[in-house]
Structures are given as C-alpha cells and as structure tokens.
Amino acid sequence: MSDHPLIIRSSDLTVRIDRLGAELRSMRDGQGREVMTDADPRWWTGHAPLLFPFVGRSRGDAYRMNGRTYSMPQHGFARRADFALEDHAPDRLLLRLEADATTRAVYPFDFRLDMNFTLEEAMLRMTATISNRGEARMPFSFGYHPAFAWPLPFGGTVEDHRIIFDKPEPAPIRRVGDEPGLIARASEPSPVQGDRLAPTYTMFEGDALIWDDLASRSLTWGVPGRPHLKIDFPDTPWLGLWQKPGAHYLCVEPWAGMADPVGFDGDVWDKPGIMALLPGQSRSFRMDVTLVGV
C-alpha cells in the first residue's frame, strides 16, 4: 500500500496519506517544503501512526480482561492494518478499519475506526471516530503520533525551535520507567519554563516526555518569529513528545490513554486512561495542524 499514497490538496498544502495504517506521510506547503519527518532509517521510519485500540505498551505485550489474556503489540494494531477507502475528494479523505477475524482474536469487539482527513486552506484537520458496533461494553484508548520536521524548513537552527503551549505547564511530567515502554510511577519536574519548552536531543535520552496533567489543548512548534505549526488537540487530555536523539523529527503526540505503569498486572479496565464505549456509541478525537505565517 505504501507505494500508492492518496493525495489531497488545498490552496496552501499538499498532503499524502497511506491506506496502510491510515498514516499521514507528507505535508508540504505551496513551495513544496516538507514539514514532516524525513523518515531516515537510521532513526525511525514511521511518519504518523495511529494508536488504537491502546496507546503505548501493555506489560508483557499482553493485556488481561475478564480472566483472559490477550496479545497486544505496542500502540495496538491499527498502525499495521489496511484501511478501506470510503471517500476521496480533492480536499478530503475517509479511510475505515472494521473488526475482522484477525482483530477479534486479540481484541474481541466489533469496532469501527473512521479516519477523516480534511484540508481547509493552510489547515489539515484529522478526526478519528471510534464506534462500538457490538453488544458488549468496549475498552479502548486512542492517540496520534505524528513526527514533524526538526528543524522545520523555514530557517533557524535545531536549538532555535520551541514548543509554546497555549497555557503555562508547571505540573510534573512522567517518563518511561525501568520496564521498557512502561510509565514510571514517579514524576519529575517539568522542563517547561512558563509556557515554553526549548527541546534538546539530550532530553530524549531517557525516551519520551509525558504530560498526564496537561492544561493546554493547543501548542505551536517552530522558531519564534518564523513560519511554524499550530497544533490543536481538543479531545485528548495527555501529551507525549518523543524522538531518537539526533534524528530530524519531533513527535508531538496527543493521547487519550497511555502505556501501562511499571509493574501493572491488573485488568484492562483498571489501566490508566482506559475509556468505555457502550453498544451503539461513538467517540471522536480531533487533531488540527495549521501552517502559520507562510
């Protein structure tokens, strides 16, 4: 699938999306400048995986529910699944993933995941809608994981780039603990100064920075005074920032849910951030990426 990405365009942006994982692969401005990762295989070949049905790693790559144990890879299975093309217009795209025998073996629920991409001039709006089409209460979490260029192609050095939150963020953050991919139970002081974070490669030597007490639902990424990205995530209460030190990207990851805590051995319903969908219910999660100042 990845050899035949789908393209949508507006007056300001050209966006490519892959049916495999409904993954956003490229976002270019009117001059052809790429604002997403170069996917250099020395670091990470991902672009923007969707995290479903669970965000992060389950301890032992398995979860427990109603006395049974089910296998589950890190960040779930949607990112490796082929989505069906439901609608494709010049400026919009709808891709769909539905339960089948393969998914039911590890996640015994009749779900539907619709992924909408819509362009409005310089804004890409992404909306994931998760529906419970079965007869049982369904546990789930969801997250975005896009990797944006660092540095962005608008001038300025790596060191000049800033995350600017829409509110001050004094609360402590969480880090990955001593079990790979799991969340440490202790917190550490926030690296944010007021509403600004000056990221460095060394910040990510211990893996991701994780906010589970986040005031903001919007931030900007780029060099102050230059064209930059505005990222809105109104439906997701938590945030991860991640990269492999030295790579040419920064992942800005709005989450509704997160990995298991270190030592967690409870039922999936006791996992932090797990949400429930009753039969017939749906829930949507939006992320807008707007190119500002070009």
Count of domains for the chain? 1
Closest C-alpha to 125, from 249, 8, 288: 288
What's the pLDDT tens digit per position in 71-129?
999 999 999 999 999 999 999 999 999 999 999 999 999 999 999 999 999 999 999 99
Instruction: Specify if 192 maps to a domain.
Output: yes
Instruction: Specify if 172 maps to a domain.
Output: yes
pLDDT 10s per residue in the chain (294 long)?
Answer: 445 679 999 999 999 999 999 999 999 999 999 999 999 999 999 999 999 999 999 999 999 999 999 999 999 999 999 999 999 999 999 999 999 999 999 999 999 999 999 999 999 999 999 999 999 999 999 999 999 999 999 999 999 999 999 999 999 999 999 999 999 999 999 999 999 999 999 999 999 999 999 999 999 999 999 999 999 999 999 999 999 999 999 999 999 999 999 999 999 999 999 999 999 999 999 999 999 998
Q: How far is CA 119 from CA 11, 16, 89, 92, 97, in A?
A: 9, 12, 10, 6, 21
What's the pLDDT tens digit per position in 200-215?
999 999 999 999 999 9
Amino acid at 48: A
Task: Determine the structural domain holding residue 100 and report its residue range.
Answer: 6-292
Q: Where are the alpha helices (DSSP H) in the chain?
A: 101-106
Instruction: Specify if 259 maps to a domain.
Output: yes
Instruction: Specify if 1 maps to a domain.
Output: no
Instruction: Specify if 107 maps to a domain.
Output: yes
Q: Are 212 and 174 in contact (CB under 8 A)?
A: yes
Position 292 scores a pLDDT of 97
Q: How far is CA 91 from CA 12, 56, 97, in A?
A: 11, 31, 21
Two structure tokens written together for 157: 């050095």
Tell me which residue has tokens 């906010």: 211
Q: What is the pTM of this model?
A: 0.96
Closest C-alpha to 289, from 26, 90, 6, 20: 26
Interacting residues of 267 by C-beta distance below 8 A, sequence separation 6+: 64, 65, 66
What CATH number did the domain enclosing 196 receive?
2.70.98.10
